[in-house]
Chain A
Amino acid sequence: MQRNPQLNENGELQHLLSIEGLPREILVQILDTAESFAGVTEREVKKVPLLRGKSVFNLFFEPSTRTRTTFEIAAKRLSADVINLNIAVSSATKGESLLDTVANLSAMQADIFVVRHASSGAPFLIARHVKPHEHVVNAGDGRHAHPTQGLLDLFTIRHYKKDFSKLTVAIVGDVLHSRVARSLIHGLTTLGAPEVRVIGPQTLLPAGVEALGVRVFHDMKAGLKDCDVVVMLRLQNERMRGALLPSAQEFFKHYGLTSDKLALARKDAIVMHPGPMNRGVEIDSSVADGPHSVILPQVTFGIAVRMAVMSIVAGN
């Protein structure tokens, strides 16, 4: 049997590439560790010495502000040195291959590569070629996975709802193009959430999405009924090819989250969004800024979760 490429020979997390295929214990370990790091981010000196002397390379082959910044803050709070490379405007445009870029950075004594790439699987390719002491963290690859976002979503849900075993979670909108949705669905099913729903038009749901263990709804009102958690996805204009939608206005009418639609969910439902938000397209401002919204706490929790992931992989 081939070994899980994320785990070392002792079954410990060596790279974080995808939530899919990670055992429950490792997900819980990451969430528990993040809980302790959340305490560090609340104190006067928001720094611990764990990764002192280590170098974290942020390799972003695709633009990102929030994810890159929170990885940078997380690495700095672990006392690592952080080097940000915006590859979209550097070597890759001069024709250097992905593995050559990584080999060169490895020669500069890298310890952790945080990789975002438009091609699904790029972080896996890098993980197969790095040295044993080097670790790869996937910061989003194509439509495939965005495990730290999935983990921070899980952390947020656990923070507000305590326990996954009775939850109904709805993921709404452009599931087809969303690596966030895929990572979250795998995490929720692994942690035992009994009902995960995806809500969206046929054209924005992947064929055979039911196989991931979710219930499919095309009618948002039916789908939101009695939900504890509502996760809105960004309508990914930059990934749209062909006419999947009549218009953004039309989408908002059917699948935009308004206060009226949210009223169908449970009274204490939380509303999440991975950002960046398109106000008036997938979410109304009254909801985004309203009492159910935990969208900004998600960003804060993202730092603690990324501290946990980096300190766990770098120690294994």
Chain B
Amino acid sequence: MKTLPEAEKLCQELVRELKPRIGPKTAMVGLYTGGVWLAERLHKDLGIKTPLGLMDIAFYRDDYAARGLKHDPKRTKIPFDVNGAELLLVDDVLYSGRTIRAAMNELFDYGRPQSIALVVLADRGGRQLPICAQHVGAKVEVPDGMRLRLKRDPAGKLALALETDRAA
């Protein structure tokens, strides 16, 4: 198996790539859990002025009928006016696209943003919906039955990891 790219390096590349598009209307929302870690890093390194939004899409998932509500949904906090904002939506890994659809539905219940761009650390392909990311750290091939996840160690260092997908 090929080695996974270094998450820290991908972060730096994303910061360089995103820098030119940061303006006064830029706001950022991270998706729990890995997307929040990445968003915290990008938000700080890009010096975005509006406070960071945190989102748990548990109440908007499309598999609720099959799987029920997950056990510990976090409280979504959007501490800025979504109306007219140029949003950067941040997640760690892009796969089926279902999480992003749910996140956009939830965002529109807060208001009408001017635009939304998707930022992900890793794109593993396998889309089931017509969704693509505007800013991708790296494309990563993931074997069937495995899950790609972002991890954060106690010192705050980010790393990608492969693990067996329990849901598969």
Which residues of A approach B to under 8 Å, CB–CB? 12, 29, 32-33, 35-40, 43-45, 47-50, 311-312, 314-316
Residues of B within 8 A of A311 (CB): 59, 69
Given known pairs A35-B75, A39-B76, A50-B59, the reply for A315 and B69 (CB within 8 Å) is yes
Given known pairs A29-B72, A36-B76, the reply for A48 and B60 (CB within 8 Å) is yes
Q: Shortest Cβ distance from A282 into chain B, in angstroms?
A: 34
Which residues of B approach A to under 8 Å, CB–CB? 56, 58-60, 64-65, 67-69, 71-78, 105-106, 109-111
Q: Shortest Cβ distance from A287 into chain B, in angstroms?
A: 31
A314 to B66, CA, bound (A): 11
A45/B72 in contact, CB under 8 A = no
B109/A36 in contact, CB under 8 A = no
Q: Shortest Cβ distance from B82 into chain A, in angstroms?
A: 9
Q: Shortest Cβ distance from A64 into chain B, in angstroms?
A: 26
Residues of A within 8 A of B78 (CB): 43
A40 to B75, CA, bound (A): 8
Given contacts A36-B75, A48-B60, A49-B105, 13 further A-B contacts (CB under 8 A): A12-B68, A33-B73, A36-B56, A36-B59, A36-B73, A39-B77, A44-B110, A48-B59, A48-B106, A50-B59, A312-B69, A314-B68, A316-B68
A39 to B68, CA, bound (A): 20
B56/A50 in contact, CB under 8 A = no
* Sampled A-B contacts (6; CB under 8 Å): A32-B71, A33-B73, A40-B76, A50-B69, A311-B59, A315-B65
Total contacts A-B at CB 8 Å:
54
Residues of B within 8 A of A29 (CB): 71-72
Given known pairs A36-B59, A315-B64, the reply for A45 and B69 (CB within 8 Å) is no
Given known pairs A29-B71, A38-B75, A315-B64, the reply for A45 and B110 (CB within 8 Å) is yes
B68/A32 in contact, CB under 8 A = no
A50 to B65, CA, bound (A): 9
A49/B74 in contact, CB under 8 A = no
Residues of B within 8 A of A316 (CB): 68
Q: Shortest Cβ distance from A36 into chain B, in angstroms?
A: 4
Q: Which of A32, A33, A43 contacts B109, CB < 8 Å? A: A43
The 7 closest A-B pairs by CB, nearest first: A315-B68, A48-B59, A45-B109, A39-B75, A36-B73, A315-B69, A36-B75
Residues of B within 8 A of A40 (CB): 59, 76
Residues of B within 8 A of A35 (CB): 75
